[in-house]
């Protein structure tokens, strides 16, 4: 039997938005629990956009209780709170009710009002005999209960001692700072699903696929053995192998028969950091040359090399600098190269130097060699289809471009700023940074041919820490699935990476076509000593085009205490990092797989019996 525990976490106010969410842990004995998703939350309360200023008000979640509906699907009860786990005056006496379709899809079905006073610790159980759900909660340090059939109306409310067990029993939770809510039994299939989605897969075994080889093809170098890696979640991938060529050729010369062959899994290592002080990194391969760029001030700087690995030590070179007759201009942030119908463009921003709240997206066209500064034309600011500015009331930044079914789209971070009429936060902002999409004219990529559409805004606790931000979108295609990663929260150590998903054939300009994963894929807990992971791009593995690599930045620290306040004060630079993207059994990208999980050293040496004919 498998047991699932729901809990929240205690912690400093700095991390409250990440801690005040529903976390999950699993156990086989009901006593010793292992947290999922690096001990981070997977269900967050949504912000209230009718409360507060332009960005709405951040909400947190307390006292999550997992239960089963009559049809055995999962539901969650919880209490909505304000930031810092303070009472939410707008929902006093209400219980949030979620339908939990899968760990990747929650639906808030209702706010069930059970009292006029503040309530805590809701619990629920379906009564088969009465055909109703019994609810229990605490109110003014006393226990109450009531009944409902639809979670819309509560009946028979009364003061009564609790009878619903939280399932904890003799459990001794050793998860640091965990505040346990309840424990339920789950099926083996449910456990496998949770682990597949919420754990980082680890390579478990290797299988040699094509065990019959032609001696002629081997000697001519036309055929090679393939190895398939099977991971802990059931996902699979082909892994390149460096076989003992002398051994293979010797067996091939001997002629038909069965032979034991030996090899070693090819393990690619990228230095960490890959490059230093390169926030918002971007890499592409253009006409056989690898180009890397990152955020700058008054200039765009690149590294160029014949190989991806060569970028690590390549010398920086400025390819564009804002003319001296524009002394106030700067903020050339998050540059990206994109080839559109055979022409290379550079997407970036320009604003007034030192005034981040003036930046606007712009595009530079290359008329020749991208490594030659003379071949770059002057920037053109992006505009709507009527020729007006992309955002006349705020800023635009982090624009990216992609093509789907012969149509070109841009996506960017868009923020309304009204510093005259709305209160600003500690960062000097008030509007939230949202993700917008539009179709463009490929002949004039700086001009939209559709109206901008907002497809995502910071609504969960994890993308509203210190600042309400969705930015840095980047496109990733995998089979019939289309993904966009984006970054949220402050750009420091609390940066997180989120995910949007849709399908080929969908209307990409329809916000309802995009589904947002309700929790972040990357946080400061995902990979040890890598804080504030974010603003990534993707590139194909040079040795294997079927594999994707993620390029991102993070602030690196040598100490392991994630609650150490010195982390918040440290001015560590943002360094670039590269690692392979794995695809889990459920079709989601795994962005936190480390080298020792991808190919453990103990599994690198392989051997097997093959047949030559």
**pLDDT tens per residue across span 121-161:** 999 999 999 999 999 999 999 999 999 999 999 999 999 99
Structure tokens at 42: 């997977």
Mean pLDDT, range 25-43, rounded to an integer: 93
Question: Is pLDDT above 90 for 428?
Answer: no
Flag whether 394 is in a domain. no
Q: Are residues 136 and 227 in the same domain?
A: no
- Residue 46 is classified by DSSP as B
In contact, 263 and 606? CB cutoff 8 Å: yes
pLDDT band at residue 440 under the 50/70/90 scheme: very high
Flag whether 79 is in a domain. yes
Q: Are residues 27 and 164 in the same domain?
A: yes
Mean pLDDT, range 30-34, rounded to an integer: 89
Flag whether 308 is in a domain. no
Q: Tens digits of per-residue pLDDT, 380-396? A: 999 999 999 999 999 99
Q: What percent of the chain has pLDDT over 90?
A: 77
Q: Are residues 16 and 153 in the same domain?
A: yes
Q: Are residues 17 and 163 in the same domain?
A: yes
DSSP string, 316-333: PEEEEE--TT-TTEE---
* Of the residues 151, 178, 198, the one at which a domain ends: 198
* Of the residues 149, 182, 198, the one at which a domain ends: 198
Flag whether 450 is in a domain. no
Q: Are residues 63 and 187 in the same domain?
A: yes
Structure tokens at 207: 């299988």
Question: Is pLDDT above 90 for 308?
Answer: yes
How many domains is the chain partitioned into structurally? 2
**Distance between CA atoms of residues 603 and 611, nearest Å:** 23
In contact, 151 and 133? CB cutoff 8 Å: yes
Structure tokens at 525: 């807990």
Q: What angle do CA 607, 609, 613 make, to 5 degrees?
A: 135
In contact, 123 and 129? CB cutoff 8 Å: no
Q: Are residues 45 and 150 in the same domain?
A: yes
Flag whether 337 is in a domain. no
CA 423 from centre of chain:
30
Question: Is pLDDT above 90 for 83?
Answer: no
Continuous H helices in 119-210: 188-198
**Distance between CA atoms of residues 318 and 313, nearest Å:** 16
Question: Is pLDDT above 70 for 560?
Answer: no
Which of 54-58, 201-205, 352-356, 371-375 is least confident? 352-356
**Distance between CA atoms of residues 487 and 517, nearest Å:** 13
Q: Are residues 96 and 184 in the same domain?
A: yes
- Residue 117 is classified by DSSP as S
Q: Are residues 235 and 193 in the same domain?
A: no
pLDDT of residue 255: 81
Q: Are residues 177 and 211 in the same domain?
A: no
CA-wise closest residue to 6 among 151, 183, 173: 183
* Of the residues 147, 165, 198, the one at which a domain ends: 198
Question: Is pLDDT above 80 for 169?
Answer: no
Place of tokens 């069930």: 112
Q: Is 12 exposed, middle or buried (0-12, 13-18, 19+ CB in 10 A)?
A: exposed
Q: Tens digits of per-residue pLDDT, 230-246? A: 999 999 999 999 988 88
**Distance between CA atoms of residues 350 and 360, nearest Å:** 6
pLDDT of residue 12: 63
Q: Which residue has the higher pLDDT, 288 or 355?
A: 288
Q: Are residues 140 and 238 in the same domain?
A: no
pLDDT of residue 53: 83
Question: Is pLDDT above 70 for 555?
Answer: yes
Mean pLDDT, range 472-500, rounded to an integer: 95
Cα-based distances in Å from 409 to 365, 439, 589: 17, 4, 22
pLDDT of residue 103: 64
Average per-residue pLDDT for the chain: 92
**Distance between CA atoms of residues 304 and 314, nearest Å:** 6
Question: Is pLDDT above 70 for 500?
Answer: yes
Cα-based distances in Å from 504 to 207, 272, 340, 507: 32, 35, 20, 9
Mean pLDDT, range 280-295, rounded to an integer: 98
DSSP string, 201-269: --EEEEEE---EE-HHHHHTT-----EEEEETTS-EEEE-EEE-HHHHHHHHHH-SEEEEEEEEE----
Residues 6+ apart with CB under 8 A from 89: none
pLDDT band at residue 111 under the 50/70/90 scheme: very high
Mean pLDDT, range 571-595, rounded to an integer: 95
Structure tokens at 354: 């030192």
Domain holding 104, by residue range, is 2-198
**Distance between CA atoms of residues 351 and 364, nearest Å:** 15
**Distance between CA atoms of residues 400 and 409, nearest Å:** 8
In contact, 581 and 550? CB cutoff 8 Å: yes
Question: Is pLDDT above 70 for 222?
Answer: no
Q: Is 272 exposed, middle or buried (0-12, 13-18, 19+ CB in 10 A)?
A: middle
Q: Are residues 101 and 150 in the same domain?
A: yes
**Distance between CA atoms of residues 239 and 221, nearest Å:** 18
3-class state of residue 565 by DSSP: helix
Mean pLDDT, range 443-470, rounded to an integer: 95
Long-range contacts of residues 134-137, Cβ cutoff 8 Å, at least 24 apart: 134/163, 134/164, 135/77, 135/95, 136/160, 136/162, 136/163, 136/164, 137/95
Structure tokens at 499: 């995910």
Q: Are residues 227 and 128 in the same domain?
A: no
pLDDT of residue 220: 65
**Distance between CA atoms of residues 505 and 480, nearest Å:** 9
Flag whether 81 is in a domain. yes
Q: Is 404 exposed, middle or buried (0-12, 13-18, 19+ CB in 10 A)?
A: middle
pLDDT of residue 505: 96
pLDDT of residue 566: 62
Structure tokens at 541: 């593995």
3-class state of residue 118 by DSSP: coil
**Distance between CA atoms of residues 242 and 223, nearest Å:** 13
Mean pLDDT, range 438-447, rounded to an integer: 97
**Distance between CA atoms of residues 382 and 400, nearest Å:** 12
Flag whether 307 is in a domain. no
CA dihedral 490, 495, 497, 500 (to 10 degrees): -10
pLDDT band at residue 23 under the 50/70/90 scheme: very high
pLDDT band at residue 564 under the 50/70/90 scheme: low
Flag whether 293 is in a domain. no
pLDDT of residue 51: 86
């Amino acid at each position: 039997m498998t047991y699932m525990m729901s809990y929240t976490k205690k912690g400093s106010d700095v991390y409250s938005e990440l801690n005040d969410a529903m976390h999950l842990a699993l156990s086989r004995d009901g006593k010793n629990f292992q947290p999922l998703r690096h001990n981070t939350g997977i269900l967050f309360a949504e912000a209230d956009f009718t409360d507060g200023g332009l960005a709405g008000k951040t909400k947190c979640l307390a006292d999550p209780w997992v239960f089963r509906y009559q049809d055995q699907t999962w539901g969650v009860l919880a209490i909505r709170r304000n930031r810092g786990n303070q009472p939410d005056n707008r929902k006093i006496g209400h219980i949030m009710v979620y339908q939990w379709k899968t760990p990747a899809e929650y639906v808030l079905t209702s706010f069930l009002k059970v009292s006029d006073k503040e309530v805590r610790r809701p619990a629920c159980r379906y009564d088969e005999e009465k055909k109703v759900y019994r609810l229990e909660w605490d109110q003014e340090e006393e226990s109450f209960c009531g009944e409902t059939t639809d979670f819309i109306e509560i009946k028979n409310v009364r003061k009564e001692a609790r009878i619903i067990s939280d399932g904890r029993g003799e459990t001794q939770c050793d998860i640091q700072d965990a505040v346990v809510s309840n424990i339920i039994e789950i099926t083996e299939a449910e456990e496998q699903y949770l682990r597949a989605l919420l754990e980082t897969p680890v390579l478990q075994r290797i299988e040699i696929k094509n065990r019959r080889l032609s001696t002629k093809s081997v000697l001519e170098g036309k055929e090679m053995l393939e190895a398939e890696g099977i991971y802990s979640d059931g996902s699979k991938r082909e892994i390149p192998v460096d076989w003992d060529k002398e051994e293979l050729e010797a067996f091939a010369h001997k002629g038909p028969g069965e032979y034991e062959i030996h090899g070693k899994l090819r393990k690619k290592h990228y230095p960490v950091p890959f490059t230093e002080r390169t926030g918002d990194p971007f890499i592409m391969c253009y006409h056989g040359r690898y180009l890397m760029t990152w955020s700058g001030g008054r200039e765009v700087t690149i590294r160029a090399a014949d190989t991806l690995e060569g970028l690590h030590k390549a010398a920086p070179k400025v390819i564009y600098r804002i003319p001296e007759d524009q002394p106030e201009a700067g903020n050339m942030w998050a540059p990206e190269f994109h080839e559109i119908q055979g022409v290379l463009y550079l997407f970036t921003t320009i604003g007034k130097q030192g005034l981040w709240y003036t930046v606007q997206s712009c595009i530079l066209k290359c008329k020749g060699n991208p490594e030659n500064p003379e071949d770059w034309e002057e920037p053109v600011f992006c505009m709507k289809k009527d020729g007006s500015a992309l955002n006349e009331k705020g800023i635009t930044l982090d624009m990216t471009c992609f093509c789907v079914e012969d149509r070109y789209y841009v996506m960017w971070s868009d923020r309304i700023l009204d510093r005259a009429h709305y209160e600003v936060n500690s960062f000097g902002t008030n509007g939230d940074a949202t993700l917008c999409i539009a179709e463009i004219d490929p002949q004039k990529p700086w001009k939209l041919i559709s109206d901008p559409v907002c497809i995502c805004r910071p609504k969960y606790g994890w993308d509203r820490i210190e600042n309400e931000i969705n930015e840095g979108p980047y496109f990733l295609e995998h089979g019939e699935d289309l993904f966009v990663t984006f970054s949220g929260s402050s750009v420091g150590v609390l940066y997180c990476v989120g995910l949007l998903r849709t399908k080929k054939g969908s209307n990409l300009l329809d916000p309802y076509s995009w589904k947002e994963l309700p929790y972040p894929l990357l946080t400061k807990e995902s990979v040890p000593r890598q804080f504030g992971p974010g603003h990534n791009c993707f590139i194909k593995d040079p040795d294997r085009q079927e594999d994707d690599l993620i390029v991102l930045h993070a602030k690196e620290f040598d100490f392991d205490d994630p609650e150490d306040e010195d982390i918040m004060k440290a001015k560590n630079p943002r360094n670039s990092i590269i690692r392979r993207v794995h695809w889990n059994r459920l079709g989601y990208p795994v962005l936190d797989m480390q080298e020792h999980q991808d190919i453990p050293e103990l599994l690198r040496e392989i051997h097997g019996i093959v047949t030559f004919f």
